[in-house]
């Protein structure tokens, strides 16, 4: 398959806002490809710079192997070559991650991302071997997805830099909210003359993250306020910090909708609130979550709609 973005040789498009795109589901919890495509079109039309498919917000852990591949394919179809698509292929072992990687490549992804394998507490040497083998097996650029709170293993600064020096990874997403770790990586990469594309997995630091070397952000709420996220990034990139703060505060205000959902875990509250609003706006067909995660109930849904109206959400900003 011919890809529009050759991220191995030209990383200029790896910047800005890459929404960790939600995965719309049918009532039987299968992937709703049509709604996925429509959601991607919605965020792209509102100015985002790329798509992060099958991440945590995309509920990859709730999907079968084939559903994961179909969701990536739908995201690629929705992006239509306008922005790059990075597909998370994380799993419990190297062999399984490679299978997801091969399927994501066939589905048209421009690059792959992977967490450390989860369940076992892997050593740093095992992480090095994991990412090397994955990159060797699937000929696509690779991003490290550092999220120790869900996979139990933290990638050390030295490990990330070694993978970058070897050319195994071209970038990373850090979702642990450890700015000391992040800055050590960005300054370490700069000292080594490496063009390592580092993203923060946060909706709070889209603007400020650029001061410590972030090339962009992968914020969950970019699913419902993509324009505000994109404008916060672009304003900061131009040095217009006052304008960036206005847009950043808009993103932070949008997060209030997740607080309405009281009957679910924090992940379900975030994903469920966004899916419900997107359903109400006609972007996706259902707010189904992968079980055992629970969607907002009737009272929560009513409160969500009311709060979204007060916040003037609904048009991407």
The pairing of beta strand 111-114 with beta strand 85-88? parallel
**Under a CB-based contact definition with an 8 Å cutoff, are residues 84 and 116 in contact?**
no
Kindly state the tokens that stand for 310. 């007060």
**Under a CB-based contact definition with an 8 Å cutoff, are residues 198 and 185 in contact?**
yes
Task: Exactly one of 37, 105, 173, 275 is catalytic; name it.
Answer: 173
33: Cβ–Cβ under 8 A, 6 or more apart, which residues? 70, 71, 73, 74, 77
In sign, the C-alpha dihedral spanning 259, 260, 266, 271 is negative
Kindly state the tokens that stand for 22. 């939600």
Task: Exactly one of 145, 152, 154, 275 is catalytic; name it.
Answer: 145
**Residue 197 to residue 175: CA distance in whole angstroms:** 14
Element (H, E) at 38: helix 33-45
Smallest CA-to-CA distance from 54 within 113, 8, 13, 5 is with: 113
Instruction: Reply yes or no on whether 317 is catalytic.
Output: no
**Residue 206 to residue 224: CA distance in whole angstroms:** 15
Question: Phi and psi at residue 51, in whole multiples of 5°?
Answer: -130, 135
The set of catalytic residues is 145, 173
């Amino acid at each position: 398959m011919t890809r529009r973005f050759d991220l191995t040789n030209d990383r200029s498009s790896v910047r800005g806002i890459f929404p960790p795109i939600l995965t719309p589901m049918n009532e039987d919890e299968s992937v709703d490809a049509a709604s996925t495509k429509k959601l991607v079109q919605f965020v792209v039309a509102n100015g985002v710079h790329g798509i992060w498919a099958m991440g945590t917000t995309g509920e990859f852990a709730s999907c079968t192997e084939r559903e994961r591949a179909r969701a990536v394919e739908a995201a690629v179809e929705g992006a239509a070559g306008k922005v790059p698509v990075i597909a998370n292929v994380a799993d419990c072992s190297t062999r399984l991650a490679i299978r997801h990687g091969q399927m994501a490549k066939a589905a048209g992804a421009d690059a792959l991302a992977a967490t450390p394998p989860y369940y076992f507490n892997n050593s740093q040497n095992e992480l090095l071997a994991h990412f090397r083998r994955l990159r060797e097996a699937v000929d696509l650029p690779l991003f490290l997805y550092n999220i120790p709170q869900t996979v139990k293993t933290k990638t050390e600064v030295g490990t990330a830099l070694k993978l970058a020096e070897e050319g195994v990874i071209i970038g990373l997403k850090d979702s642990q909210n450890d700015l000391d770790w992040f800055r050590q990586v960005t300054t370490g990469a700069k000292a080594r003359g490496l063009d390592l594309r580092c993203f923060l997995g946060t909706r709070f630091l889209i603007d400020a993250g650029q001061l410590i070397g972030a090339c962009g952000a992968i914020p969950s709420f970019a699913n419902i306020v993509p324009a505000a996220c994109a404008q916060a990034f672009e304003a900061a990139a131009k040095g217009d910090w006052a304008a960036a703060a206005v847009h950043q505060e808009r993103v932070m205000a949008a997060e209030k909708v997740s607080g309405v959902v009281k009957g679910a875990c924090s992940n379900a509250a975030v994903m469920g609130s966004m899916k419900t609003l997107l359903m109400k706006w006609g972007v996706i067909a259902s707010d189904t979550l992968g079980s055992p995660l629970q969607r907002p109930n009737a009272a929560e849904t009513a409160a969500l709609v009311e709060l979204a109206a007060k916040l003037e959400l609904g048009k991407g900003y």
